[in-house]
């Protein structure tokens, strides 16, 4: 990992330059493509010290997010506001081991004002969602390892068996770590996942779950207060299905997810996430 120095870095397709020190300062949201979006509210661009980090730092200025957190672009305003309220109240938490990114989120939202929450919600809701994830079925994948909060290809090269899991990583680690919203990702999923996931999503799988379009819209691009799920990070989708099933998400309209998730196996969750992630946002 490059040292957090002050040397400016450049990226293809951008006239901007940011240092590694800036990229790791969570009170700075590096804006590589300012012409691609409207002006950011201060809470998105800079946060508010000492505890509220810039929303655009972790989630990127265009709301694209990464495997370790959530994409925010295009989320309905009411849904966004409800999720912040759930984080604050404890209705949205972790069922399993604590993850640093979620702990950081909980600390950051604690003292956000209603005006700051709404400003962020309206900004991200107006952003166009991008197709940045390629879902690939495979039995064998590049050898990977953890890098801070996500996985990367091993510098030693080689391959490994995928097994019954999803492995998602940035295609260009430096581009992602420098917080460019145009960074892309590859998500490897087990062979057969897409067909199985499509059947579950569209039909409910003979009672295994409930057809996703009933709430999330005919193309799974959102419907009213219900969020778009098409094209979202497969690893994120699996985490949320797990949280709904194990009680980590209980606020707002979470009760509506109780029936769809209660019978899902881990393989079902992986298949649904793979299919949903493969769709056009």
Summarised one tens digit per residue, pLDDT across range 127-186 is 999 999 999 999 999 999 888 889 999 999 999 999 999 999 999 999 999 999 999 999
Q: What is the pLDDT of residues 173-231, one digit of tens each?
A: 999 999 999 999 999 999 999 999 999 999 999 999 999 999 999 999 999 999 999 99
Mean pLDDT to the nearest integer, 24-47? 97
CA–CA dist 124, 74 (Å, integer): 6
Confidence of residue 100 (pLDDT cuts 50, 70, 90): confident
pTM: 0.94
Q: How confident is the model at residue 98 (pLDDT cuts 50, 70, 90)?
A: confident
| CA-to-CA separations, 45 to 62, 89, 123, in angstroms, rounded | 11, 25, 11
Q: What is the CATH number of domain 133-278?
A: 1.10.760.10
C-alpha 12 chain-centroid distance: 24
Contact 191, 19 (CB under 8 A): no
pLDDT at residue 43 tops 80: yes
For the chain, residues classed under CATH 1.10.760.10 are 8-125, 133-278
pLDDT at 103: 86
Distance between CA atoms of residues 68 and 148, nearest Å: 10
Instruction: Return mean pLDDT, the chain.
Output: 95
The size of the chain, in residues, is: 281
Distance CA 253, CA 258 (A): 10
pLDDT of 93: 87
Tokens of 223: 């419907």
Of residues 16 and 155, the one with the higher pLDDT is 16
Class at the top of the CATH hierarchy for domain 8-125: mainly alpha
């Amino acid at each position: 990992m490059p040292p957090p120095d002050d040397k400016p870095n450049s990226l293809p397709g951008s006239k901007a330059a940011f240092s590694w020190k800036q990229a790791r300062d969570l009170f700075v949201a590096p804006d590589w493509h300012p012409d691609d979006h409207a002006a950011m509210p201060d809470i998105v661009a800079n946060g508010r010290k000492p505890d509220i980090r810039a929303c655009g730092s972790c989630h990127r200025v265009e709301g694209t997010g990464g495997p370790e957190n959530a994409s925010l672009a295009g989320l309905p305003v009411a849904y966004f506001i409800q999720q912040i309220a759930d984080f604050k109240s404890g209705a949205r938490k972790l069922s399993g081991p604590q993850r640093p990114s979620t702990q950081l989120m909980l600390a950051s939202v604690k003292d956000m004002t209603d005006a700051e929450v709404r400003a962020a919600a309206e900004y991200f809701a107006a952003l166009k969602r991008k197709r940045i994830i390629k879902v690939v079925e495979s039995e064998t994948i590049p050898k990977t390892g953890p890098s801070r909060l996500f996985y990367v290809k091993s510098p030693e090269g080689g391959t490994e068996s995928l097994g019954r899991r999803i492995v998602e990583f940035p295609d260009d680690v430096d581009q992602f770590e420098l917080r460019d919203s145009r960074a892309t990702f590859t998500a490897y999923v087990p062979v057969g996942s897409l067909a199985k996931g499509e059947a579950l999503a569209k039909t409910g799988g003979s009672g295994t779950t409930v057809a996703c379009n009933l709430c999330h819209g005919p193309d799974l691009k959102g419907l009213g207060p219900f969020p778009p799920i098409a094209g979202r990070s497969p690893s994120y989708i699996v985490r949320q299905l797990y949280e709904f099933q194990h009680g980590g998400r209980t606020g707002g309209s979470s009760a509506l997810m109780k029936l769809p998730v209660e019978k899902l196996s881990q393989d079902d969750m992986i298949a649904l996430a793979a299919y949903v992630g493969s769709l056009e946002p």
